[in-house]
Structure 1
């Protein structure tokens, strides 16, 4: 069968689960990853065909996609802030909103003189997407990252190596820390923030396959990670240092109020590309 014909069949079979645009994007992601062919290649050569072995591989992927397994897990990788990251079911799949958080930090710190060294701590690093991206784009930074999951850290370490950056990774549960071992100029975190009451809003591909440890918090204490990290920052944030958080879109005001009550100032709440409250920065 010609690849162009299979493309039509592939999109049609995914119609009950995804819209046509998303199904088509899956097709071209797989085509490029597995065959090194781009959309333009297929447009220029309508006679390209799949082998029998190709069909076996494609049908296996199609079966998993019908179960709504994330395409990133099936391919074992994703793109984030211009870099490639290995992902698996031990880590969250990086989101575009988190890229905005990374860009905010880079924009506010990239103009600093190279002689001015800064120390960054990423709390709850997961795949390492934030830590690795900052290390790649801020050459004057020494980046540290912690996570409670040993398997997540193994993935993050691979991502640092694959992207040729140095990050110091540490296995720690931030909720059990009374103090950090060092002072930092930047503390950044995208912690668990989705309340259990919001689970009905979560798509099946996230709810069934991404690690709940990195996603959910109890309804009655949804800001537990922000309170703890802010408390640590009061002890271990350097003079003029800043915290950067990704936050629950429904709890922007509550998060600002929490930080104000804890004595932080210059609190800035920003919206993401979807016009949701998503990021906060502040200093002591």
Structure 2
């Protein structure tokens, strides 16, 4: 297989499954992360030969994409704020919007004062690891109900030289947080069952529903419970940060107001959707 035949096979096999923009993205990812080449390398030597081992690897990736498996699962990792993170069926694949949430926290606490941070809902570890590596004086802890998610996040912390305290705990069953924090941050499950129709196959069929979905009847269950815990677990001047359901910005603000939070700020993501909230108590 040459580079050119690889590209032709990718596009021909998958053109009925994905838009061209996504195929362009797949080609770039496989070129860079599997073959360790750039688009310039391809342009200069499109007829260079790919080894049999790499050809087999690419064939497997194309077959997986044909079944709508996430490209990140097929290559085994994703990138988040310049970090390389392992992802698998036990954790959500980090989204660009979550990077915006992390940047918000880093910008708010860039004076290098030592702070204590709690992340709720570890997943791949993207939030706590990014905070730890970008805030050198942050003491970061993280909670998740999934042992397998924590195991994945621990490997990611080791790979990225981040020191994190991992806690296996069901936050909805937690009556009180034992420590005090300057920052409590969470990107909890927030997709309502009624919104499943909007979810792409690669997410719906291959990412953990435990970390994605909440009932239509009480979609803010995690936000309410975490906020109640935060009322006694935030230090003076501490801040609670959430990533939120874009359709429930107004409702989430009202929830925090009703629980006595103040200085509530609702922020849009780069796509113009209500996506982040911060508040103090």
Q: Where on the TM-score scale, by shorter chain, does this alignment land: which range?
A: over 0.9
Q: Distance in 1 between matches of 2:46 and 2:223?
A: 54
Give, in angstroms, the shift of residue 222 of structure 1. 0.3
1:43 aligns to 2:43 (yes or no): yes
Verify: 1:162 aligned to 2:159, yes or no.
Answer: yes
Could you say which residue in structure 1 is the equivalent of 2:131?
134
* Counterpart in the other structure of 2:78: 78
Contact kept, 8 Å, 2:180 with 2:233, in 1: the verdict is yes
Query: Following superposition of structure 1 onto structure 2, how do residues 264-283 of structure 1 map, counting pairs within 5 Å?
Result: 264-283=261-280
Whether 1:202 and 2:202 are equivalent positions in the alignment is no
Offset from partner CA, 1:1-47 (integer Å, 9 cap, x none): 42123202211211111111211211221222222112111112233
Q: Does 1:31 align with 2:28?
A: no
- The 3-state SS of whatever aligns with 2:131 is helix
Q: How does 1:250-265 map to 2 (within 5 A)?
A: 250-265=247-262
Q: Does the 8 Å CA contact 2:119/2:185 hold for their aligned counterparts? A: yes
Q: CA deviation at 1:65?
A: 0.4
* SS of residue matched to 1:73: helix
- Counterpart of 1:2? 2
Offset, 1:57: 2.1
Could you say which residue in structure 2 is the equivalent of 1:246?
243
Residue 50 of structure 1 aligns to a residue whose secondary structure is coil
Q: Secondary structure at the match of 1:220?
A: coil
What is the distance in 2 between the residues matched to 1:233 and 1:38? 47
1:22 — aligned with what?
22
Please identify runs of 4+ aligned residues in structure 1 that moved more than 6 A: none
Distance in 2, matches of 1:54 and 1:199, equals: 36
- For 2:152 and 2:5, locate their aligned partners in 1 and report how far apart those are by CA, in whole Å: 37
1:93 CA drift (Å): 0.0
- Structure 1: gaps (5+ residues): none
Give the match for residue 104 of structure 2: 104
| Structure 1 position 49, deviation (Å) | 1.4
Q: Residue in 2 aligned with 1:148? A: 145
- The number of aligned residues is 281
Q: Out of 12-21 and 100-109, give the one that drifted further.
A: 12-21
Q: Secondary structure at the match of 2:90?
A: coil
Distance in 1 of aligned mates of 2:122 and 2:280: 21
Q: Which sections of structure 2, spanning at least 5 residues, go unmatched?
A: none
2:210 is aligned to: 213
Normalised by the size of structure 2, how large is the TM-score?
0.98
Moved more, 46-55 or 200-209: 46-55
